[in-house]
Amino acid sequence: PKPDPIIVVDNISRTFGGIKAVQVDHLEVQRGAITGLIGPNGAGKTTFFNLITGFDKPDSGTWSLNGDPLGRMVPHQVARRGMVRTFQLTKALAKLTVLDNVRLGAAGQRGEHFLAALAPWVWRKQEAEITDRAHELLRRFKLDAKAGDFAGSLSGGQRKLLEMARALMTDPEIVMLDEPMAGVNPALTQSLLEHIKSLRDEGVTVVFVEHDMDVIRDISDWVVVMAQGQVIAESLPDRLGDNEAVVDAYLGGH
């Protein structure tokens, strides 16, 4: 397909105590594709997610979503523009119900407090609509039977599904999934993979971090490889082994 980037990143960098966690000179994310992001521990994948979704601020750099610069935005603003992310360690609020956790997604990420404090009337007005949408997403992820349970009672894999449902509440154009399969049992892994593919089939752009090369090869349309903060390679999934830098930095003896 001809290049149609939804995200364009230039010269983004983030340093922690002298360590360059991220130094990405240029990266484009293709619209409508599933991009797999791989790289050894500490490569900067999570930091990169944090930066472009507004959860952390870079030392320098610019990045845009659909051509709109996102640099100074906080997460709920980024969510309203169409980009949301999930976390490696899920952020479900254990003492709220599954349904309420998903409903909170409507406020955009970390927007709950902002909305609750500034505009409770907005919340009330849209409440029925929000609840309907949350139930719809719970059905999609086969969590509807758990709607009234505390999120804290869910298994690791169910929490991953809950987090995806919650992320979809703002109808994003692009979702950034940080290790969606980590800690998930094999049966649910298969179902998560199907969910990710169906998002792509509906036109949602997906970027996901994953360590399992079989999973990467199974569902990625494109693979980006990071090491020591930098993008060291990009390729079709079945051509990864052709790249010496990738084999050295990541695939090792595999």
Which parts of this chain interact with ligand ATP (CB under 6 A)? Answer: 16, 19, 21, 39, 41-47
Tokens representing 47 are 């930091």
CB of 140 to ligand ATP, least distance (A): 28
Which residue number, 144 or 234, has a Cβ lying nearer to ligand ATP? Answer: 234
Q: What angle do CA 249, 50, 70 make, to 5 degrees?
A: 120
Cα–Cα distance measured from residue 224 to residue 232, given in angstroms and rounded to the nearest whole number: 8
Which residue number, 77 or 228, has a Cβ lying nearer to ligand ATP? Answer: 228
Handedness of CA 215, 220, 225, 226 (dihedral sign): negative
Which residue number, 40 or 237, has a Cβ lying nearer to ligand ATP? Answer: 40
Q: Is 142 helix (H, G, I), strand (E, B) or coil?
A: coil
Q: Are 8 and 63 in contact (CB under 8 A)?
A: yes
Cα–Cα distance measured from residue 252 to residue 246, given in angstroms and rounded to the nearest whole number: 8
Cα–Cα distance measured from residue 163 to residue 143, given in angstroms and rounded to the nearest whole number: 11
Q: Are 203 and 196 in contact (CB under 8 A)?
A: no
For residue 45, which of 179, 212, 167 has the smallest C-alpha distance? 179
CB of 28 to ligand ATP, least distance (A): 20
CB of 250 to ligand ATP, least distance (A): 11
Which residue number, 58 or 105, has a Cβ lying nearer to ligand ATP? Answer: 58
Which residue number, 39 or 111, has a Cβ lying nearer to ligand ATP? Answer: 39
CB of 203 to ligand ATP, least distance (A): 27
Which residue number, 32 or 42, has a Cβ lying nearer to ligand ATP? Answer: 42
CB of 120 to ligand ATP, least distance (A): 33
CB of 96 to ligand ATP, least distance (A): 26
- The distance from CA 61 to its chain's CA centroid, rounded to whole angstroms, is 20
Q: Is 35 helix (H, G, I), strand (E, B) or coil?
A: strand
CB of 49 to ligand ATP, least distance (A): 8
DSSP code at position 248:
I
Tokens representing 126 are 């849209």
Which residue number, 13 or 243, has a Cβ lying nearer to ligand ATP? Answer: 13
**136 Cβ neighbours under 8 A, 6+ residues apart:** none
